[in-house]
Homo-oligomer: A and B are copies of this chain.
């Protein structure tokens, strides 16, 4: 039997007194985490892992922070993904479709095997929780970067 696991990310990343935490309800939900690699992201994007795949969960959960202008490469998920936008605003675009503006409070159900990207707007950061299903050991297939021309076009919509 697994014990319940509580991951105190705030406690790991920074030391706060209880009073500071009580008074800090408007702070970011999670710490920014580690910078994501230029091989899969354009600009400054950061990941805080929240939950690993385990025997009950056939998915992983992470918090991704996109600074202004930052976005994923084009990519696919073999069994889809759920994005929950927790801060700011940006875009979600499937190949061959118009980009959809997304903002704090939006939930995106990313279909399986569908080329797409997501990220911040050019002038606004965006933070989302990502719940990514696995198919076997694979949860993402990375493709090429979103070009500056394509990204600028989306931001001028």
Residues of A bordering B, CB below 8 Å: 1-10, 21-22, 25-26, 29-30, 50-51, 54, 56-59, 61, 79-80, 82, 84, 86-89, 92, 94, 100, 102-114, 116, 129, 131, 133
Residue of B nearest to A24 (CB): B104
Q: Copies of this chain, how many?
A: 2
Contact B106 A6 (CB under 8 A): yes
Contact A6 B108 (CB under 8 A): yes
7 CB-based A-B contacts, threshold 8 Å: A1-B114, A4-B92, A25-B88, A26-B26, A29-B86, A51-B82, A51-B107
Contact A9 B116 (CB under 8 A): no
Contact B50 A107 (CB under 8 A): yes
